[in-house]
Amino acid sequence: MTNRKVRVRFAPSPTGPLHMGGVRTALFNYLFAKKYNGDFILRIEDTDQNRFVPGAEEYIIESLKWCGLQFSEGPGNGKYGPYRQSERKEIYKKYADYLIDSGMAYFAFDTPEQLDEIRIEAEKKGQVFSYGILTRNNLQNSLTLSKTEVDRKLNSGESFVIRFKMPEDTLVTENDIIRGEVTFSTSVLDDKVIFKSDGMPTYHLANVVDDHLMEITHVIRGEEWLSSMPLHVLLYRTLGWEKTKPQFAHLPLILKPTGKGKLSKRDGDKMGFPVFPVRWADTETNEVFRGYREDGYFPEAFINLLALLGWNPGTEQEFFSLEELSEIFSLERVVKSGSRFDPEKAKWFNRHYFQQKDVTELAELFKPVLIEKGISVSNEMLLKVIAEVKERCGFTTDLWEHSYFFFSMPSEYDIKTIKKHWKEDTSEKLLAISKLFENIENWKAQQIKETFSDFLNTKEWAFGTVMNPLRLCLVGGNVGPDLFVICDILGKDTTLTRIKSGIEKIEQITI
Ligand code: GLU
């Protein structure tokens, strides 16, 4: 560890919603910063105006907020700003100029059409074209054109790009905290565009310049950026910033639940789970992508499952709070190979956090569902219902499925159950039960059960002949918890009304 204060950044491009892999990158940066009392910075990398998607930045911020990943510096807040690259445009030009002056970069004037043509020609010969050591000397750039011609083109406003001049036959070795020493040969690297004539840098230049100016100590990002590391290292070297160059850590991929490849944004819809933290509605395609938040996941569960995708605590422990993770997280325990995402495990995590919540909290979460359904219920009854069905649920959304019958009279009665359990003498028996119930003073599950059992024993009625039809009247089918608990929660009046109404309606059903 360096003696500098740890400063890490999460640097998404606002090109769409944040994939859960992106949230994991943010999380690992956050945890690393917390662990070392460092700073966690949000930087918006919006240099590619063509890929800019309105609403994406707000989406990213909202997602981080939902996850509890508070950044200490970011758009509108912090002394290393601005934190949006599009607002830092003026800063990059001088570095691009410096690279040109030092001979490490050059102007290139080839149009996209010309390059496409060359690409196609190469393909015909079974080759892959790349703008670099082997080809740059035959192309339209300041290495091949005269100075007068270059100046003329620049002065006449011709469009250009600035490319980094990859040194020949050089080995670039860099340590990656997760992968160890990695060596790249420049002979396989192309001359990347670092600046464009619209005055905007590309990702590579902006990223390096900003990491330097923002005094970033560790670059923790996805594996897809590993191949950019040698270029970035060379940029640090060329710009004379090698001493303060950040350390790199490239996180492993998150893999699809089954089959090959990384988890993609389409997998969620195909396989029935969210891939995004919160819902995203694409205004161009009108597509809607589900979110963990809207699917009823708790942020604690989402964070917990993400933490274990690629990081190994070294113990059997599986449940971790954000605070706990902040203490024990270490990049050394991040694995190199991809981690398979298991949607069932995600549900299992949620179930755990659901069970941890007390009934009052769950009631608050459930109320909006009830309001939407037009149901009004006393707080007292709601708490009783939740306490009763909680154990069967893993999500707030499961609560309705397991409790709807408490809140309104059955609107229909299950035909199968009627066929099986409703006999000639059922109504008569239920009327007798109704009478019996009327006289129970202490309306509690235990008391109801005892009175009911004594009565049936005296009458010598088999329990099933009454229990099943009674349940049918109360909840409409063969569902719900213990029958006497249902009676207790419904209250005496409602229980009696439902028995009466059930008998009337079921008797009218002809099967
Ligand atoms: N803007 C890049 C992205 O969207 C950031 C990569 C990095 O962290 O260097 O992933």
pTM: 0.91
CA of 31 to the centre of ligand 1 (A): 18
Q: Is position 197 within any domain?
A: no
Q: Quick one: pLDDT band at residue 163, thresholds 50, 70, 90?
A: very high
> Which atom of ligand 1 is the closest one to the Cα of 9?
8
Whether residue 68 is found in the same domain as residue 209? yes
Digit-coded pLDDT (tens) for 405-449: 999 999 999 999 999 999 999 999 999 999 999 999 999 999 999
CA of 374 to the centre of ligand 1 (A): 46
Q: Are 174 and 248 in contact (CB under 8 A)?
A: yes
Digit-coded pLDDT (tens) for 52-81: 889 999 999 999 999 999 999 999 999 998
> Which atom of ligand 1 is the closest one to the Cα of 15?
4
> Which atom of ligand 1 is the closest one to the Cα of 221?
8
83 DSSP 8-state letter: -
CA of 110 to the centre of ligand 1 (A): 27
Model pLDDT, residue 259: 87
Q: Are 354 and 270 in contact (CB under 8 A)?
A: no
Model pLDDT, residue 251: 98
Which sequence positions are flagged as catalytic? 265
Q: What is the CATH number of the domain that holds 319?
A: 1.10.1160.10
Helix (H) or strand (E) holding 220: strand 218-222
CA of 13 to the centre of ligand 1 (A): 7
Best mutation site among 9, 45, 51 for ligand 1 pocket (most ligand atoms within 8 Å of CB)? 45
Q: Is position 388 within any domain?
A: yes
Q: Is position 83 within any domain?
A: no
Whether residue 230 is found in the same domain as residue 283? no
State residue 58 phi and psi, 5-degree precision.
Answer: -60, -40
CA of 206 to the centre of ligand 1 (A): 11
State residue 123 phi and psi, 5-degree precision.
Answer: -60, -40
Q: Which residues contact 151 (CB under 8 A, 6 or more apart)?
A: none
In the structure, which protein residues have their CB atom closer than 6 angstroms to any atom of ligand 1? Answer: 11-13, 45, 203, 207, 219, 221, 225
Tell whether the model's pLDDT for residue 250 goes beyond 70.
yes
Q: Measure the CA–CA gap between 195 and 206, rounded to whole angstroms.
A: 9
From residue 53, give the alpha-carbon distance in Å to each of 22, 244, 280, 282: 16, 33, 12, 9
Which residue segment(s) compose the domain that 282 sits in?
Answer: 267-356
Nearest CA owner, ligand 1 atom 2: 12
Question: To 5 degrees, how large is the angle CA 144–CA 147–CA 149?
Answer: 80
> Which atom of ligand 1 is the closest one to the Cα of 211?
9
Q: What is the CATH number of the domain that holds 46?
A: 3.40.50.620
Model pLDDT, residue 2: 53
Mean pLDDT of 281-306: 94
Q: Measure the CA–CA gap between 232 and 239, rounded to whole angstroms.
A: 10
Whether residue 434 is found in the same domain as residue 511? yes
Q: For residue 463, give both structure tokens.
A: 């329990």
Q: How many helices and strands (H and E) does the chain possess?
A: 20, 13
Whether residue 440 is found in the same domain as residue 485? yes
Q: How long, in residues, is the chain? A: 511
Sheet of 161-164: strand order equals 105-108, 161-164, 193-196
